């Protein structure tokens, strides 16, 4: 097959998209970005945001919205591949902005696919940035019932400070297992549901159109460029902005909740692997490290690296829609595409902190976001 040259990245001014776009241009691709420079990510002066400034001289930038047919039409002209990343991404926020999240994430995806089903426009590859959020609480082992998929944790348990998952059959405590791509989709948030619907729309229409599609389920991505002003997602940047403002860190639950944190460079490398490799066609891949890290460890590590003495408060509060743990089984992407994460947690966090140290101090909007979550009944 002819090599891919022109790549459209929707949401390409965002954290992952901007790194991906720059990496693609360095590798000889010609990149177009469709992005509305949303204020939540890019701040009140978006044309001066760190992320936008980092890409603007290297890509063709189209300011537009994935909910607008004309914006897609003008961005799609002449493209060989589309990497669809534009999305609303706050798990907690998605629980009270149900329409907006569905509109952007599902509606925007549906519009792209609707246009392509009518006219493929020469597009030969589709890539979607999905999320570990599709797994919800993920996969566990019950010693009596084997592999199980716990539902969202109950209010009673959470209120009583019991944060772990239970077997959905016998209600006994269960042991965490990594999620693999065939694990049950079991989202516990509106965000997770929208990501899963995106996947299904992609796979079903891509097969019908014979345009190979690749779905990546990213774990928690972190690294330089992560929005330091968005208080709704990205624990590394939320904690960093609080520390830099001299404010105490608020850790939910008992701090033992964990995630699989993957460094931005590894995320970009994994994404590019599937762009040209036909083995990836119509496949779903986890992109993670396969190693869980708990939130309290991150809080401690960051305060130490910034040489800060801000207190770390373990609140015992919890957010509705949040999950306890998740980490990825990355056997499939390793085997099919030869992916190996090159940056472990120590190396990645050091590089992130070095970057933050050179950024201007951002206002700590976290208390406002907490107030908003509380007003919407999502923090208890």
Least Å from the CB of residue 137 to ligand NAD = 16
Candidate segments 13-21, 152-160, 181-189, 341-349, binder of ligand NAD by CB under 6 A: 13-21
Contacted by 14, from ligand NAD, Zn ion, none: CB < 5 to 8 Å by type: ligand NAD
Contacted by 15, from ligand NAD, Zn ion, none: CB < 5 to 8 Å by type: ligand NAD
Least Å from the CB of residue 261 to ligand NAD = 9
**Residue from 7, 29, 32, 38 in contact with ligand NAD (CB under 6 A):** 38
Binding to ligand NAD, residues 82-101 (CB under 6 A): 85-89
Max CA separation in the chain (angstroms): 59
**Residue from 8, 22, 41, 193 in contact with ligand NAD (CB under 6 A):** 41
Least Å from the CB of residue 125 to ligand NAD = 17
Name the nearest CA neighbour of 258 among 296, 225, 218.
296
Residues that bind Zn ion (CB under 5 A): 142, 144-145, 167, 169-170
Binding status of residue 218 toward ligand NAD by CB under 6 A: yes
Contact of 230 with 236, CB cutoff 8 Å: no
**Residue from 7, 8, 9, 14 in contact with ligand NAD (CB under 6 A):** 14
Nearer to Zn ion among residue 144 and residue 154 (C-beta): 144
Nearer to ligand NAD among residue 174 and residue 231 (C-beta): 231
Burial of residue 333 (CB within 10 Å: 0-12, 13-18, 19+) is: buried
Give the rounded distance of the alpha carbon of 344 from its chain centre.
Answer: 18
Q: Give per-residue burial for 49-81: e unless 16+ CB within 10 Å, then b.
A: bbbbebbeeebebbebbbeeeebbeebbeebbb
C-alpha dihedral, 30 to 35 to 39 to 41, nearest 10°? -50
Binding status of residue 16 toward ligand NAD by CB under 6 A: yes
Q: What token pair was written down for 136?
A: 């919800």
Contacted by 145, from ligand NAD, Zn ion, none: CB < 5 to 8 Å by type: Zn ion
Least Å from the CB of residue 174 to Zn ion = 7
Contacted by 109, from Zn ion, ligand NAD, none: CB < 5 to 8 Å by type: none
CB atoms under 10 Å from CB of 311, counted, come to 10
Contact of 243 with 305, CB cutoff 8 Å: no
> What backbone phi and psi angles, to 5 degrees, belong to 129?
-90, 100
Contacted by 131, from ligand NAD, Zn ion, none: CB < 5 to 8 Å by type: ligand NAD
Least Å from the CB of residue 143 to ligand NAD = 32
* DSSP β-ladder status, 258-263 and 125-131: unpaired
Nearer to Zn ion among residue 140 and residue 327 (C-beta): 140
Contacted by 303, from Zn ion, ligand NAD, none: CB < 5 to 8 Å by type: none
**Residue from 8, 24, 59, 66 in contact with ligand NAD (CB under 6 A):** 66
Q: Which residues pair with 284 in a beta bridge?
A: 215
Burial of residue 335 (CB within 10 Å: 0-12, 13-18, 19+) is: exposed
Least Å from the CB of residue 149 to Zn ion = 12
Rounded CA gap, 43 and 241, in Å?
A: 14
Rounded to 5°, the CA angle 316-317-320 comes to 140
DSSP annotation of 137 reads T
Contact of 270 with 203, CB cutoff 8 Å: no
Binding status of residue 112 toward ligand NAD by CB under 6 A: no
Q: Which residues pair with 8 in a beta bridge?
A: 32, 82
Least Å from the CB of residue 166 to Zn ion = 8
Least Å from the CB of residue 94 to ligand NAD = 10
Binding to ligand NAD, residues 129-158 (CB under 6 A): 129, 131
DSSP annotation of 15 reads H
| Site for ligand NAD, rule CB under 6 A | 11, 13-17, 35-38, 41-42, 65-67, 85-89, 104, 108, 129, 131, 218, 220-221, 227
């Amino acid at each position: 097959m002819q090599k891919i040259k022109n790549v459209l990245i929707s949401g390409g001014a965002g954290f992952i998209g901007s790194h991906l776009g720059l990496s693609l241009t360095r590798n000889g691709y010609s990149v177009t970005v469709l992005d509305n420079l949303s204020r939540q990510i890019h701040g009140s002066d978006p044309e001066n945001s760190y992320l936008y400034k980092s890409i603007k001289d290297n890509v063709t930038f189209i300011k537009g919205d994935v909910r607008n047919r004309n914006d897609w039409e003008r961005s799609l002209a002449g493209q060989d591949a589309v990497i669809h990343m534009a999305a609303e991404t706050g798990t907690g926020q998605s629980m009270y902005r149900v329409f907006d999240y569905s509109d952007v994430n599902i509606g925007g995806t549906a519009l792209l696919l609707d246009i392509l089903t009518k006219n493929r426009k020469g597009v030969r590859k589709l890539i979607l940035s999905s999320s570990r959020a599709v797994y919800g609480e993920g996969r566990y082992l019950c010693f009596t019932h084997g592999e199980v998929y716990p539902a969202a944790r109950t209010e009673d348990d959470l209120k009583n400070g019991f944060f772990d998952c239970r077997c959905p059959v016998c209600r006994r405590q269960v042991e965490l297992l990594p999620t693999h791509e065939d694990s049950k989709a079991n989202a516990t948030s509106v965000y997770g549901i929208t990501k899963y619907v995106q996947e299904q729309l992609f796979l079903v229409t891509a097969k019908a159109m014979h345009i190979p599609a690749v779905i990546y389920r990213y774990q928690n991505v972190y690294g330089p460029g992560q929005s330091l002003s968005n208080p709704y997602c990205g624990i590394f940047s939320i904690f960093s902005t609080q520390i830099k403002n001299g404010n105490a860190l608020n850790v939910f639950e008992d701090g033992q909740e964990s995630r699989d944190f993957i460094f931005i460079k590894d995320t970009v490398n994994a994404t590019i692997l599937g762009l040209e490799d036909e083995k990836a066609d119509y496949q779903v891949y986890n992109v993670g490290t396969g190693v869980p890290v708990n939130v309290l460890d991150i809080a401690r590590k960051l305060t130490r690296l910034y040489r800060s003495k801000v207190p770390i408060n373990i609140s015992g509060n919890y957010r509705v829609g949040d999950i306890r743990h998740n980490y990825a089984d990355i056997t499939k992407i390793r085997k099919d595409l030869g992916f190996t994460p090159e940056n472990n947690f120590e190396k990645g966090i050091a590089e992130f902190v070095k970057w933050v140290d050179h950024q201007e101090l951002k206002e700590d909007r976290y208390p406002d976001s907490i107030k908003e979550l509380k007003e919407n009944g999502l923090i208890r």
